[in-house]
Every structure is written in C-alpha cells, then in structure tokens.
Amino acid sequence: MKILFVATEAAPLAKVGGMGDVVGVLPKVLRQLGHDVRIFMPYYGFLPEKVAVPGKPVWSGSAMLQDFEVYETVLPGTGVPLYLFGHSAFAPKRVYLGDDEDWRFTFFANGAALFCWEYWQPQIVHCHDWHAGMTSVWLHQTPDIKTVFTIHNLAYQGPWRGYLEQITWCPDYMKSNNTMAGAIELSDRVNTVSPTYAKQIQTMEYGENLEDLLASVGDKIVGIVNGMDLDSYNPATDQHIAQTFTPATLEQRKVNKRKLQQEVGLPINSDVFVIGMVSRLVEQKGIDLVLEVLPHYLQCTDAQVVVLGTGEKKYEKGLAQMATLFPDSMSVKLKYNEGLGRRIYSGGDAFLMPSKFEPCGISQMMAMRYGCVPIVRHTGGLVDTVTDYNPNTRNGTGFCFDRYNSLELFAAMVRTRESFRDQDKWQQLQKRDMAQDFSWEKSAQEYIKMYEELVSETVTNNHKTPSMGIK
C-alpha cells in the first residue's frame, strides 16, 4: 500500500508529545513490512541542524495566496522518505505557539492536500490531530484516496469555521464548526491510540464537547494501542543506565537503584521502596492528586519519591516545596532529561501515573520494560496496558485505582508498598512486566488491517465530487 502520514511532529526531528513518537516509529515499521510509507511535515527552522536537506525543492505549489516549496529528505535511521513543507511561516525554531498558529497549520494542511492531488497520490492519507484535519476534509472529495484521522489530543480542536472561511475554502459538505470536528466528520476512519479511549471520548466526561459527534460516527472509530521502540528502550543494552540487566539477571538492577539515589541526592539504600514519576506536570497527569497524597504518604512510610518533569508553574512550585519539606524522602528535578528518565525507570521500584485521562500513555510501558511496576488510574490506554495485580493469584502487571480521588490513589500506593515487602513475589511481578509485548510490530499489524479494510471498500460516489482544488 501507498501511505502518506501528515503530521506536525516526527521523532527524532520534531517531538513535543506522543504524536512525535508515533510518526517517528510507525512509518518505519510499516515500511519494513513492505509498504510504501512517506511523511509530510513542516520545514521548521531548526531542522537543518538535525538532518541534511537538499537545497532544491522536489515540488512547489500555491495555496491560500501563498507560494511554498516541498523538499525531500529521509527520516534519520529509517529509510522513510520525508517531505518538508517549506514556507517562511515555519522558519522560526519552534513547532507550536505563536499568533499565527491557526493560519500556518491550515496552510500546511492545504499544502498536504495539493501534494496528494498534484505530486504523489497515496492510497491512504493518515492525518494526525487538528493541524492536519483539513487535509482529511478536502480529500473527502477524492474517491480513490482514503483518509485516517488520529486523535492524539482532543482538547485542541483548531480554528473555528468562521475563521476558516476567511482564510481558505471551507467546502459545503463540511457541516462541522471547527477543524477537529470536520476531520472527525469526514475522515473514512477515526483512530485513537487505545481501544478504551475510543469508547471514553464518546461520553460527556471525556468528549471535550464533541461526544455527540463522536458517538454518531462511532462505527468508524478504531482504537489501537501505541507501541514503543524496544530496541532503544532495552534494559539489556541501554547505555543511559548504570547497570544493564535482563529478567534472568534482575538482582543486578539494584545497582541502578543505588546510582539513582546518589544522582538525585537521596539516602542510598537498595532496600528502601522507591517510587518514580516522569511526566509533564499538568492537570491531565494527576499532579493535583499527587500533591494531596504525598505529604501523608511520606510521613507514614519510609518510601522515597523521585519526580522528573516540567509543566505548569503551580505544580512545579508545589512539588519543589514538598521536596524541601522531605529532603530525605523526595527529590524533584524540574527539567527534561532523557537519560535521567531512563535511570528512573531502571532504578525505581514503582512508577506513578495517576492520570485524569490518558489517550494511550507510553511511560507506563517504558516503566514495565525496565521492571518498574506501574501505579495507575484505570483510564484510557492505561486500562489497555496495565492489569491490576492480585497477590493471591499472582496475576496482573500493576496497581490500579478507578475513581479520580486522593483516597483511592493513596490506597493503591499502600498496596504497592505492602506487595514490595515480599521480594520473591515482587520479582516475579517485575519479570512479568518485562515480558509484556509492547512492540510497534504488534500495533502495526492492527494499522495494516485498518488500512486494508479501507482500500478494499467499494468506493461510492454519491457523497463525493470531483476535485475542485483549494484557494
């Protein structure tokens, strides 16, 4: 199959959130499985520092009264062709933010649709989040191109129809009021990054005011759990950690705990219970619950807590103050540090992820890969990747709580600490976690199934019209 990914992020070149991980790995795996997969992404000002880009464009076009050029290179380490949408609006060294964000990404979506019509026509165009949403809307008129729209963050829905009509062509067949809604309405498939989240967004609690629309198109919504790069995140070979290990050499993992304690300034003791947290410090991630629970938890246990991340100032301040109150029990690092994150996964005993909502989540998978047992709220992708541990049957992979409140989180943390006391059972749990299959190859097969269903569907023309172009 010929598949084009249209996205604003692709790791390792441009990564802000989970979209970057998906677009940076899934095309590579699909290509290894024999499919012609390519990526269309903005030509950000910082990209020449990360990848060689030819000086001559492979194609040029015009949309929204603006000329643009498209340059072809390769996503590093993948062999996947990468087309970069070049215009001065993307020259600044940033991905998001700026007063022109709605305009520049609508312009980008315009360019992607024209690219498919006039330069390289794929069978499937896979659009990611609202930034590429109008590409799905415009390609709806082209019978031999099928579209998939992946929702990574439902809360950000793009410009409203009134603004779209001022800057570009808003087709009559689009009945929705904003970019995200238009893509949901008119894409051939709507994809979320976990099956549970696919159901949850059709409810008022999670639907971000689009629940009625999502419920009305529920038969075309498909949830597929993200994978992770098992070659990169491999405790047997990871050069970021002090001591590599495998399930068979799990005892060696204690070296990582001691090194972690030393690095973050906590008392060194391989027998103490260490909880790690690597997260954006925002409401979605349950930081308010963490701030409620930790003071009492640290007072009544000998546990240590290590937090790594950045985010909203009120959460950064609250966590920093708590670390000051409990200097021998808590360490907070307000920064992004890939290496330290891996050392928390490899040295912590448990991993805290009490999300308010979670489309998929990848941190819990990384933690399990390194034998760091997750403590999670059972929502979204956390339902699909973590099962509650029962010490009697020895089934399950982590410690789960359902309702979003501090009492349930506290109970889950206490259960985890009590289970840690039985080291024989605990190590069996760690080994079970490390054996979980979170490979992208597994997820890619689900995407291939979805793509093949679309390609094989009988094309009906009663709701599509010939290409009219976009201004």
Instruction: Say whether pTM exceeds 0.75.
Output: yes
DSSP secondary structure letter of residue 17: S
Q: What percent of the chain has pLDDT over 90?
A: 91
Higher pLDDT, 186 or 77: 186
Predicted confidence band of residue 394 (pLDDT cuts 50, 70, 90): confident
Among residues 417, 436, 439, the alpha carbon closest in space to that of 426 is found at 417
- For 418, phi then psi, to 5°, come to -65, -40
Cα–Cα distance measured from residue 197 to residue 18, given in angstroms and rounded to the nearest whole number: 15
pLDDT the model gives residue 458: 45
Which of helix, strand or coil describes residue 87?
coil
**Whole-angstrom distance, CA of residue 107 vs CA of residue 179:** 13
Residue 466 clears pLDDT 50, i.e. is over it: no
How distant is the alpha carbon of residue 395 from its chain centre?
28
| CA 268 to each of CA 257, 258, 259, 262: distance values in angstroms, whole numbers, following the listed order | 8, 6, 8, 6
Specify the pLDDT at position 467. 43
Parallel, antiparallel, or unpaired for β 59-63 and 66-74? Answer: antiparallel
Q: 72-79 long-range contacts, Cβ below 8 Å, gap at least 24?
A: 75/10, 75/13, 75/24, 75/27, 75/28, 75/39, 75/51, 76/12, 76/13, 76/50, 76/51, 77/12, 77/28, 78/27, 78/28, 78/31, 79/28, 79/31
Q: What is the pLDDT of residues 58-108, one digit of tens each?
A: 999 999 999 999 999 999 989 999 999 999 999 999 999 889 999 999 999
Q: Is residue 310's pLDDT more than 90?
A: yes
Q: What distance separates the 2 farthest-apart alpha carbons in the chain?
A: 70
Confirm if 268 and 262 have CB atoms less than 8 A apart: yes
Q: Are 320 and 227 in contact (CB under 8 A)?
A: no
**Token representation of residue 301:** 């246990």
Domains and their CATH numbers in the chain:
2-227+441-456 (3.40.50.2000), 247-434 (3.40.50.2000)
Q: What is the pLDDT of residues 34-43, one digit of tens each?
A: 999 999 999 9
At residue 182, what is the residue type? G
pLDDT in tens, 317-329: 999 999 999 999 9
Q: What are phi and psi of 191, to 5 degrees?
A: -120, 135
Distances (CA, A) of 363 to 144, 278, 344, 448: 38, 7, 11, 25
Nearest residue to 4 via CA among 33, 39, 28: 39
Residue 140's pLDDT is 95
Instruction: Report in angstroms the alpha-carbon separations of 222 from 71, 130, 201, 218.
Output: 33, 17, 12, 9
Rounded CA separation 270/327 (Å): 18
248-296, pLDDT tens digit by residue?
999 999 999 999 999 999 999 999 999 999 998 999 999 999 999 999 9
Instruction: Provide mean pLDDT across the span 135-160.
Output: 95
pLDDT at site 452:
96
Strand order in the sheet with 399-401: 330-333, 304-308, 274-278, 350-353, 373-377, 399-401
